[in-house]
Amino acid sequence: MKHYYALFSGGLDSTLATLLTMSQQQAIRLTPLFFRYGQKSEAEEAKAVFRLIPLLRGHLPNSSSILDDCRQFDIGGLFAWSDSPILKHNPTDTGRSPDVENRNMILIGCAASVIMADWKRGDEAPTRLIGGFKNEHYDTTKRFADAINRVFTAFERRICLDTPLIAPSQRGGSSPKRLAKLARDLGGLKLLKDSWSCYYPQSGEPCKCCRACQGRQRFFSEVGVRTAKKGHR
Ligand SMILES: [Zn+2]
């Protein structure tokens, strides 16, 4: 049985990427990895992860497939240098870019360390790592994933980074319309409402203004689901 890992934030994209990967396999073992990197939405993301795992298990392709409990890692100190407003140690400034420079490269490196530690304990190889990347930023492109995979080929046993949300042609991109159709076809809309996408939670509720909230609103308006007046659900 193939063993997949997923960079799993409890957000719309990583949840959809996980769902899609499970639907494409006849049998699968999948281990979600959640990283606490000092993001302001850390607690809300962790709660979403906790809600989503049992729901995702309902979408496993067969009874021999396994979705492990999500493994969580605290790597906050690695981003102490960043001035991104989405990090707890910086003030919220919704006018500034929320990007945390090189975040995905660092998260992928941490995930690879986890995977290699598992190999030492006797798990099978090769292994695939899923990222919910959408071709939007320099570190979510197909080109970036290809560069990472070239580095991974240097390892004795191979890890491959998969970006299932990026269309093979890249032309279709990962528009809200395409992703909404995908989610509908997979029967995952109800589950996706339990995900969390907001950089600046306010008393446990989404801000409804940030880039992540806006992306979420576009996605759910494509599928004809109105987001609740308060909160995501
Ligand atoms: Zn928000």
Ligand 1 centroid distance, CA of 211 (Å): 7
The answer to whether residue 183 sits within a structural domain is: no
Distance of CA 100 from the midpoint of ligand 1 (Å): 16
> Measured in angstroms, how far is the CA atom of residue 202 from the centroid of ligand 1?
9
* Local confidence band at 233 (pLDDT 50, 70, 90 cut-offs): very low
The predicted-structure confidence for 96-149, as pLDDT tens digits, reads as follows: 999 999 999 999 999 999 998 898 887 666 789 999 998 888 899 999 999 999
pLDDT tens by residue, 46-100: 999 999 999 999 999 999 999 999 999 999 889 999 999 999 999 999 889 999 9
Q: Please give the distance, rounded to the nearest whole angstrom, from the Cα atom of residue 193 to the centre of ligand 1.
A: 15
**CA distances for 90 relative to 8, 47, 85, angstroms:** 24, 23, 5
**The pairing of beta strand 2-7 with beta strand 159-162:** unpaired
Residue 231 forms part of a structural domain = no
The model's confidence at residue 14, banded by pLDDT at 50, 70 and 90, is very high
Give me the pLDDT at residue 231, please. 47
The fraction of the chain above a pLDDT of 70, given in percent, is 92
- Does the pLDDT at position 230 exceed 60? no
Percent of the chain with pLDDT over 90: 74
73 domain-assigned = yes
Residue 16 has pLDDT above 80, yes or no: yes
| Higher pLDDT pick, 43 / 123 | 43
208 falls within a domain: no
Query: Nearest-5° angle of CA 62, CA 63, CA 65?
Result: 70
Domain, as residue range, for 114:
2-171
Task: Supply the pLDDT for residue 160.
Answer: 93
- Classify strands 127-130 and 159-162 as parallel, antiparallel or unpaired: parallel
Centre of ligand 1 from the C-alpha of residue 11, in Å: 12
Q: Where are the beta strands (DSSP E) in the chain?
A: 2-7, 28-36, 66-67, 71-74, 127-130, 159-162
Q: CA nearest 95: which of 212, 207, 210, 215?
A: 210
98 part of a folded domain:
yes
Q: pTM (2 decimals)?
A: 0.91
> Alpha-carbon distance 9 to 140, whole Å?
15
Tell me the CA–centroid distance for residue 152 and ligand 1, in Å. 34
CA 51–ligand 1 middle distance (angstroms): 19
Distance from residue 206's CA to the centre of ligand 1 (Å): 5
130 vs 158, which has greater pLDDT?
130
What's the mean per-residue pLDDT of the chain?
90
Closest Cα to residue 185, out of 228, 218, 223? 223
Q: Is residue 17 part of a domain?
A: yes
How many angstroms is it from 41 CA to the middle of ligand 1?
Answer: 9
103 is a domain residue:
yes
Kindly give the distance from the C-alpha atom of residue 168 to the centroid of ligand 1, in angstroms, as a whole number.
Answer: 30
Answer yes or no: is pLDDT of 229 > 60: no
Q: Is residue 133 part of a domain?
A: yes
Question: How many structural domains are present in the chain?
Answer: 1
Tokens 């446990």 -> residue: 204
CA of 147 to the centre of ligand 1 (A): 31
Residue 115: predicted pLDDT: 92
Instruction: Give the domain CATH number at 40.
Output: 3.40.50.620
**DSSP line for 125-181:** S-EEEE----S-SGGGSHHHHHHHHHHHTTSSS-EEEE-TTS-TTSSSTT-HHHHHH
For residue 188, report the distance from its CA to the centre of ligand 1, in Å: 22
Asked if residue 221 has pLDDT above 80, the reply is: yes
